[in-house]
Amino acid sequence: MLLLQAALAGLVLAACLYHLLAWALTRHFVRAEASRDRLGAEPSGSGAWQAARRRLWPSVSQIKPIHRLDGELREALASFLSQDYPGSHEVLLVRRESSQELTSLFEELARAHPRVPLRLVVGGGPGSNRKVASCVLGVEHAEKELLVFSDADMRAPAGYLRRVVQPFADPRVGLVTCLYAVGRVSGLAAALEGLSDADFSASVLVARRVEGLSFALGATMAVRREALDEVGGMSVLQDHLADDYQLGHRVAQAGWKVALAGVVVEDLVGRPRFSDYFWHQVRWMRTYRICRPAGHAAFLVTQGLPWSLGFLLSTGLSPLGWGVLGGWLGLRMLTACSVWRSLSGTPAAIWGVTAPLKDVLYLVLWVSSLVGTTVRWGGRTFRVLRDGRMRPL
């Protein structure tokens, strides 16, 4: 019994150390980037200096694949159009089908942002992943040096495009990605989504510290044309579920560096139902198992709740057992609130107190990911194959 108690206590300690490390790395990331912002403030300068500075920034094509036209799409798109970027850049909206609503949205955005070239591209392509099909079409129409793909439900803060492009000053960098967090919460399901985002973004910082970055996040995938061509273009991902992971991984395998931009975009989750949250996380967990099986297995080590409950039971509900359980719950809620607040700067991070509930749901999701192969995405159901490709059902 003593051996069992020691093992359970060790697992609780390992989970505590992981979340403390994630918290420390998140705070360091946010503070380091804030300090860099202050040191990197650019003087206004003369007109000639401003013109010369603009020539130093590579030209950028922002490609926005669009599926749904509801929610906060207009706000999200406007944030990418209002970037104060010194170099030449354009924005391409890509959608599989045209509609009057889409045309009206395009015209409204074009009138509101006349200084940024905005183009609408309509059409489909082969493959199970409709988002990738839109990206392929966007690349065909893009005219600039760097290609920046980003999910349509993300809102970019001021200075986003500058911060995404800056790492490309290193010629070895082939792809840049960025973290994301929920800034506004409309209810419990949105809060659980926010907790999931915060935990994932923090885990990316841990992975970068431990093993280096070899994958991308769909919130932003900025890539050199040369690197994209070297890995076969976006079309090679047309049947993959985790196109963001696959693109970053292939770029890294080709010998390029994958960098993390010093900016966090806002995930506009709107007013999701609990079922929306659940099926979204089922898709994420099953994708995670296929793409990063070692990380998927190590997930259990970071979950202190089952181990602290096991320790409590193994000690016969002793005061020490209750102390271990209470200590874990307090640490988990405190670090969850702090990580979320650091990434998003929002008071909504107080919802981090529901972290134990999210952990229980994630344990259920983890188990389900071991036995199921189907996911729901964009109103369609797919079967995910062992190599990460998907087939519609």
Evaluate whether 356 touches 334 at the Cβ level (below 8 Å).
no
Supply the Cα-derived Rg of the chain in whole angstroms.
22
Q: Which helix (H) or strand (E) holds 257?
A: strand 257-267
- Of 93, 111, 233, the C-alpha closest to 150 is 93
Distance (Å, rounded) from C-alpha 80 to C-alpha 336? 29
Position 25 in a domain: no
Q: What is the mean pLDDT of each run of 10 residues along the chain (393 residues)?
A: 90 96 96 68 47 69 90 91 93 92 93 93 87 94 95 93 94 96 92 95 95 93 96 93 93 96 94 90 89 87 94 93 96 96 90 94 91 83 86 85
Domain boundary among 282, 302, 333: 282
Whether 223 and 249 map to the same domain: the answer is yes
What pLDDT is recorded for position 55? Answer: 54
Residue 42 belongs to a domain: no
Q: Are residues 160 and 90 in the same domain?
A: yes
| Domain membership flag for residue 27 | no
* Two tokens, residue 298: 């190590």
270 and 356, same domain (yes or no): no
Range of the domain at 212: 59-282
Co-location of 142 and 219 in the same domain: yes
Are 307 and 172 contained in the same domain?
A: no
Residue 24 counted as domain residue? no
Query: 119: domain CATH number?
Result: 3.90.550.10
CA distance 202 to 22: 5
Looking at the structure, do residues 137 and 218 belong to the same domain, yes or no? yes
140 and 176 together in one domain: yes
96 and 218 both lie in a single domain: yes
Number of domains in the chain: 2
| Structural contact between residues 62 and 151, judged by C-beta atoms closer than 8 angstroms | no
Give a yes or no: residue 78 inside a domain. yes
In a domain, 46, yes or no: no
> What local confidence, expressed as pLDDT, does residue 38 receive?
55
Q: Is residue 36 part of a domain?
A: no
What predicted TM-score, i.e. pTM, was given to this entire model? Answer: 0.91
Same domain? For 255 and 371 the reply is no
Distance set, CA 39 to CA 35, 36, 51, 96 (Å): 6, 5, 22, 43
Q: In this predicted structure, what is the pLDDT of residue 76?
A: 94
- The reply to whether 3 falls in a domain is no
Single residue among 252, 282, 312 that ends a domain in this structure? 282
Residue 62 confidence (pLDDT) = 97
Q: Checking DSSP bridges between strand 89-95 and strand 380-384, what pairing results, if any? A: unpaired
- 215, 320: one domain: no
Q: Do 264 and 320 lie in a common domain?
A: no
Q: Identify the pLDDT of residue 56.
A: 75
Q: What is the largest CA-CA distance in the chain?
A: 77
Query: Helices 274-291 and 355-371 meet at what angle, rounded to 10?
Result: 60
Q: 236 and 328 in one domain?
A: no
Q: Where a domain ends, among 229, 262, 282? A: 282
Reduce the DSSP state of residue 368 to 3 states and report it: helix
